[in-house]
Chains A and B, each alone.
Chain A
Amino acid sequence: QSALTQPRSVSGSPGQSVTISCTGTSSDVGGYNYVSWYQQHPGKAPRIMIYDVSKRPSGVPDRFSGSKSGNTASLTISGLQAEDEAEYYCSSYAGTYTWVFGGGTKLTVL
């Protein structure tokens, strides 16, 4: 049950694109197509942005996209906006009804 590995921070200017990586193992990210991404603003509950690697819930802008290659999943945010500044967490199903999260990535919009 080791945490997934995310960069501590990323940054970008408004209008630019940023990508956040999430590296696990063949027992979690690489073994299942059940990677999710959550956005969390300070003092708020996490909000689901991407599920099943690349699916977007209704209400999430199409600027947010997800992908996976091997044991690494990625979240890409294009056309950065000020309100995108937040902490982002990846999560993966890890088998036998267990889940694992990444350590979180702080996105700063310059």
Chain B
Amino acid sequence: DVQLLESGGGLVQPGGSLTLSCAASGFTFRVHGMIWVRQAPGKGLEWLSYIRRSSSGAATFSADSVKGRFTISRDDSKNTLYLHMDSLRAEDTAVYFCVRKQSQVFTMDVWGQGTTVTVSS
């Protein structure tokens, strides 16, 4: 079964940092670009960051709302995607989803169940 399993969420104070992980299984992780999407409580989905596959240099791209604060990265040897978040704000409180980009097309096809991040003092 193709599966994405996020972890690392929790309660963090404003201004703090947190790193999320996403363990992939059931598919060849290294050939897929990967994405982070979040959903604030009662709100819609927001695309955050994308990382290309390593053979394409693992280039990264981020939404303006998190550029300079969030860093996406990957470790193909561990089949794991990461999101390092700095300077966290209350408005970063959300469920964070790890998503697979379908090969050769620009479609987000497989989603993890999400991990919850709460930024509060």
Q: Cβ of B44 and Cβ of A97 under 8 Å apart?
A: no
Please judge, given known A-B contacts A36-B108, A47-B111, A52-B105, whether A100 and B47 are in contact too, CB under 8 Å.
Answer: yes
1/0 contact string of B46-76 vs chain A (CB within 8 Å): 1100101000000101011100000000000
Please judge, given known A-B contacts A97-B50, A97-B52, A99-B108, whether A45 and B45 are in contact too, CB under 8 Å.
Answer: no
Q: Which A residues lie within 8 Å of B97 (CB)?
A: 45-46
Q: Cβ of A99 and Cβ of B47 under 8 Å apart?
A: yes
Q: Cβ of B44 and Cβ of A3 under 8 Å apart?
A: yes
Residues of A89-107 whose CB lies within 8 A of B = 89, 91, 93, 96-104
> Residue B22 at the A interface, CB < 8 A?
no
Q: Whole-angstrom distance from the CB of B70 to the nearest CB of chain A?
A: 14
- Which of B59, B63, B109 is within 8 Å of A51, CB to CB? B109
Number of chain B residues whose Cβ lies closer than 8 Å to a Cβ of chain A:
25
Q: Which B residues lie within 8 Å of A102 (CB)?
A: 44
Q: Cβ of A57 and Cβ of B106 under 8 Å apart?
A: no
CB-based nearest A residue for B110 = A48
> Residue B81 at the A interface, CB < 8 A?
no
Residue among B33, B44, B111, B113 with most chain A CB within 10 A? B44
> Residue A69 at the B interface, CB < 8 A?
no
Q: Cβ of B109 and Cβ of A101 under 8 Å apart?
A: no
Q: Cβ of B111 and Cβ of A99 under 8 Å apart?
A: no
Q: Cβ of A48 and Cβ of B44 under 8 Å apart?
A: no
Q: Whole-angstrom distance from the CB of B5 to the nearest CB of chain A?
A: 11
Q: What CA separation (Å) do A51 and B106 show in the bound complex? A: 9
Q: Cβ of B105 and Cβ of A99 under 8 Å apart?
A: no
Q: Which A residues lie within 8 Å of B102 (CB)?
A: 51
The interface of chain B, by Cβ under 8 A from chain A, is 33, 35, 37, 44-47, 50, 52, 59, 61, 63-65, 97, 102, 105-109, 111-114
The interface of chain A, by Cβ under 8 A from chain B, is 1, 3, 32, 34, 36, 38, 44-48, 51-52, 57, 89, 91, 93, 96-104
Q: Which 4 A-B pairs have the closest CB atoms?
A: A93-B106, A97-B61, A34-B106, A99-B47
